């Protein structure tokens, strides 16, 4: 009887956990759908900025622009992690990717600099002894105000123009689909716009007038490119986080179901054994009397 009570208690406890994981899965699914819509829009914005940058990359001024030919020694990593856990290997994958980057940079004389978004990353990189943590931002909304990136953009512009930063990598999780999320390391600086995907007349064949002058247009386009890349990375990272949390909560939910099934079987067998034993005792008692 005591054994049945223990099993019943365990089943109740696992059922309660299953209810929580089910609720978390539903919440993550709702948030994911909202953020995935925003991610589509952010890609359009970022692609448009890259196209404008590609049009400029043929200009002679680019040869002397520090964003295309940086002179600094320090490499800056901008890393997007999550504020909360329970999203499978979401943060661990990011930390591994960043760690691999730091290890590759060991040959360089300057220590890598890091700007991190998300509480998990802030705690992880605060413990790092071989890096300079320039900034850690927590509780960033899934779809933030674009001005939230103003401080890091100022750091980038000052660092690259001042000859301090030589390269900038953006590490985030890209949302390919709900089930497919992969780590993306985007080389923000030196700027290398991806090859022209369009067919027909190539942009290099078109001569563009630049107003008010090449320097101002380059500055505006570079700022737009940095801003849109950070904006896109944040939204992609949030979409992946919710997708991975949804998957991991679904797995937890399924595991809890399996556990409940196993415990229920065990409970039934135990109860049946008790009944059989009771019946055997009654029969043997009856036989003893007669």
Q: What are the residues binding other proteins (CB under 8 A)? A: 40-42, 44-45, 48-49, 51-52, 55-56, 146, 206-212, 216-217, 219-221, 224, 227-228, 231
Which own/partner pairs from 276-280 qualify as long-range (CB within 8 Å, at least 24 positions apart)? none
Phi then psi for residue 81, to 5 deg, are: -120, -175
Q: How far is the CB of 115 from other proteins (least distance, A)?
A: 19
Q: How far is the CB of 73 from other proteins (least distance, A)?
A: 27
Of residues 52 and 116, the one with the C-beta less far from other proteins: 52
Of residues 205 and 287, the one with the C-beta less far from other proteins: 205
Of residues 209 and 287, the one with the C-beta less far from other proteins: 209
Of residues 40 and 275, the one with the C-beta less far from other proteins: 40
- Paired strand residues for 114: 77, 133
Exposure string over 10-30, b if 16+ CB within 10 A, otherwise e? ebeebeebbeebbebbeebbe
Please state, in angstroms and rounded to a whole number, the distance separating the CA atoms of residues 29 and 135: 31
* 3-class secondary-structure state, position 188: strand
Please state, in angstroms and rounded to a whole number, the distance separating the CA atoms of residues 83 and 242: 12
Q: Which residues, including other chains, have CB under 8 Å from residue 216's CB and lie 6 or more apart? A: none
Q: How far is the CB of 123 from other proteins (least distance, A)?
A: 29
Of residues 61 and 266, the one with the C-beta less far from other proteins: 61
Of residues 220 and 272, the one with the C-beta less far from other proteins: 220
Q: How far is the CB of 45 from other proteins (least distance, A)?
A: 5
Longest dimension (CA), the chain: 115
Q: How far is the CB of 97 from other proteins (least distance, A)?
A: 26
Q: How far is the CB of 242 from other proteins (least distance, A)?
A: 19
């Amino acid at each position: 009887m005591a054994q049945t009570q223990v099993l019943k208690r365990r089943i109740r406890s696992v059922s309660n956990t299953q209810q929580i994981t089910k609720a978390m899965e539903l919440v993550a699914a709702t948030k994911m759908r909202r953020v995935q819509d925003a991610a589509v829009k952010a890609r359009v914005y970022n692609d448009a900025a890259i196209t404008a940058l590609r049009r400029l990359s043929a200009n002679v001024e680019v040869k002397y622009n520090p964003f295309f030919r940086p002179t600094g020694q320090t490499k800056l990593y901008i890393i997007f992690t999550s504020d909360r856990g329970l999203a499978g290997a979401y943060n661990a994958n990011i930390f591994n990717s960043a760690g691999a980057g730091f290890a590759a940079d060991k040959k360089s004389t300057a220590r890598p600099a890091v700007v991190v978004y998300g509480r998990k990353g802030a705690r992880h990189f605060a413990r790092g002894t071989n890096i300079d943590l320039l900034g850690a931002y927590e509780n960033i909304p899934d779809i933030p105000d674009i001005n939230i990136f103003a401080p890091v953009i100022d750091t980038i512009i000052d660092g690259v123009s001042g000859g301090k930063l030589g390269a900038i990598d953006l590490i985030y999780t890209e949302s390919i689909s709900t089930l497919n999320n992969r780590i993306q390391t985007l080389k923000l600086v030196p700027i290398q716009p991806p090859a022209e995907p369009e067919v027909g007349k190539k942009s290099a064949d078109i001569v563009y007038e630049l107003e008010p002058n090449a320097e101002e247009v380059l500055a505006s386009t570079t700022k737009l490119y940095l801003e849109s890349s950070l904006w896109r990375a944040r939204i992609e990272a949030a979409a992946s986080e919710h997708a991975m949390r949804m998957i991991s909560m679904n797995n937890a939910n399924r595991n809890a179901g399996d556990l409940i099934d196993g415990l229920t079987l065990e409970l039934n067998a135990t109860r049946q054994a008790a009944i059989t034993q009771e019946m055997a005792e009654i029969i043997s008692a009856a036989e003893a009397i007669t």
